[in-house]
Amino acid sequence: MKTSIELNRKTYETDLSKPLDISIGLRGDEKNPVAWYLDAPKINPVKDGDFIGKVSEGASVNFNNIQFNPHAHGTHTECVGHISREFYSINQTLKTFFFFAKLISVEPETKGEDKVISEAILKEKIQPNATEALIIRTLPNFREKQTKKYSHTNWPYLSEEAAVYLRNSGIKHLLIDLPSVDKEKDGGKLLAHKAFWNYPKNTRFDATITELVYVPNSIEDGNYLLNLQIASFENDASPSKPVLYKFL
């Protein structure tokens, strides 16, 4: 299904019948990725007296309750409401859903006990004003990212300077295959989040951060059309489904 789409006053061709899904699905079992010291999400049929909402157990429909945390249990997209005193909803701040995007693969550098994505690393990969959305795939890249238990692992993170560079380079939508752009245990500083959103002095309310994506090795670095889909949650974050399309 070839189609033309206009982005930033330029027209591109792509094939919408060949999506490249880089989201991690939500499961109700221990195979689900988990961060932030929570247990696995739960997906269970409703029980009310003798009624069990499961066709295999006699109900006419499958009727499940789902208990999860968008930040801890899978691919999610968040707005500045994630760190602000005031309430902001991702459903109200993200208003367009197609973007010119660039995928880069980076190997974080070692600093003491940390693995850091520095400004110098990003400057080698992305030039200012080259794209409005950036997907960062960290190396090494294993399938185990889709099921990893991240709590207490001190995952790689963006330096504050790297986040400032992305902000100044015109990146409005940042996607990364980690539970957070910040260090797991940073005492609540959230330096990369604050720098990327430029919070609180000149806040970029239309900018988003998407975390816990998974980009298979079969998807090459380069430019793509990004469709950033969210559920209509009135919350600082929502489960999301970022999908890439190759340009023809």
- CB-count burial class (<10 Å; 0-12, 13-18, 19+) for 106: buried
Mean pLDDT across the chain, nearest whole number? 97
Which tens digit of pLDDT belongs to each residue from 76-126? 999 999 999 999 999 999 999 999 999 999 999 999 999 999 999 999 999
CB atoms within 10 A of CB 189: 11
Domain assignment of residue 40, yes or no: no
Domain assignment of residue 44, yes or no: no
Domain assignment of residue 58, yes or no: no
pLDDT score for 111: 97
Confidence of residue 214 (pLDDT cuts 50, 70, 90): very high
- Whether the predicted model's global pTM rises above the 0.95 cut: yes
Give the burial string for 141-155 (b: 16+ CB within 10 Å, else e): eeeebbebebeeeeb
Domain assignment of residue 185, yes or no: yes
**E strand intervals along 58-126:** 64-67, 76-78, 98-106, 109-111, 114-117
Q: In this model, does residue 9 exceed pLDDT 90?
A: no
Domain assignment of residue 41, yes or no: no
Domain assignment of residue 158, yes or no: yes
Report how far residue 77's alpha carbon sits from residue 159's, in angstroms, rounded to the nearest whole number. 20
pLDDT score for 225: 97
Which tens digit of pLDDT belongs to each residue from 45-82? 999 999 999 999 999 999 999 999 999 999 999 999 99
Q: In this model, does residue 8 exceed pLDDT 90?
A: no
Q: In this model, does residue 2 exceed pLDDT 90?
A: no
Domain assignment of residue 52, yes or no: no
Provide the percentage of residues in the chain whose pLDDT is more than 90.
96
**Residue 6 near residue 247 (C-beta atoms within 8 A):** no
Number of domains in the chain: 1
Domain assignment of residue 47, yes or no: no
Is residue 133 helix, strand or coil? Answer: strand
**How do beta strands 76-78 and 237-246 pair?**
antiparallel
Which tens digit of pLDDT belongs to each residue from 216-245? 999 999 999 999 999 999 999 999 999 999
pLDDT score for 1: 79
Which residues, including other chains, have CB under 8 Å from residue 112's CB and lie 6 or more apart?
Answer: none
Q: In this model, does residue 6 exceed pLDDT 90?
A: no
pLDDT score for 73: 98
Is residue 24 helix, strand or coil? Answer: coil
pLDDT score for 28: 95
Domain with residue 226: its CATH number is 3.50.30.50
The average pLDDT across 137-148 equals: 98
Domain around 210: 2-24+71-246
Is residue 167 helix, strand or coil? Answer: helix
